[in-house]
Amino acid sequence: MDGEFVEEKKEFSFEENLEELEKIVNKLETGEVPLDDAIEEFKKAMDLVKKCDEKLNSAHEAIAKIVNDDNSLENFDVE
């Protein structure tokens, strides 16, 4: 690749994303972040919220199914 640097994005766990989100919230709550920086931090926080939500939805879908005796999947409804 002619010496090009290709940045590889690491997929972080739910817990890592949540921890980073908490750090951003704590930083913004101090009120000592300049406006432009606060906007950038807010954008990062919203991206983290989206990633956490996607992971939670995926986990919910995975555990909301039951495997029947014939190995078929069936939705699990709690009544």
DSSP string for residues in 1-51 = -TT---PPPPPPPHHHHHHHHHHHHHHHHTS-S-HHHHHHHHHHHHHHHHH
Kindly tell me if the per-residue pLDDT of 21 is higher than 90.
yes
In a domain, 8, yes or no: no
Q: Is position 1 within any domain?
A: no
What pLDDT is attached to residue 34? 97
For the chain, what is the domain count? 1
pLDDT exceeds 90 at position 66: no
Residue 10's pLDDT band (cuts 50, 70, 90): confident
Write the CA distances from 18 to 41, 49, 51, 53, 72, integer angstroms. 14, 8, 9, 10, 34
Domain carrying residue 29: 14-75
For residues 9-29, give the mean pLDDT: 93
Is 3 inside a domain boundary?
no
